[in-house]
Amino acid sequence: MRITASRLRQDIYRILDSVIETGVPIEIERQGRILRIVPPGESSRTAALTRREYLNTEPEDLVHLDWSAEWRE
């Protein structure tokens, strides 16, 4: 739902309670820009990332690896 900053100012507590109860974010338009009030518990962008394995080694060890067998032009 999108509202103006004036409407937010008039009903701020009711609007904040609504966001918490329903879980639906509210967008506020102010000076041509959009701001969002997001309910607690909504995942962040990084929460959707997949956990990956990584190399547990020193960077210097990687520099001196022979990659010539893997290289293709």
pLDDT in tens, 18-69: 998 888 899 999 999 999 999 877 566 776 778 888 888 888 888 888 878 8
* Cβ neighbours for 29, distance < 8 A, ≥ 6 positions apart: 2, 3, 4, 5, 35
Confirm if 15 and 3 have CB atoms less than 8 A apart.
yes
| Single pTM value for the model | 0.53
pLDDT for the residue numbered 43: 60
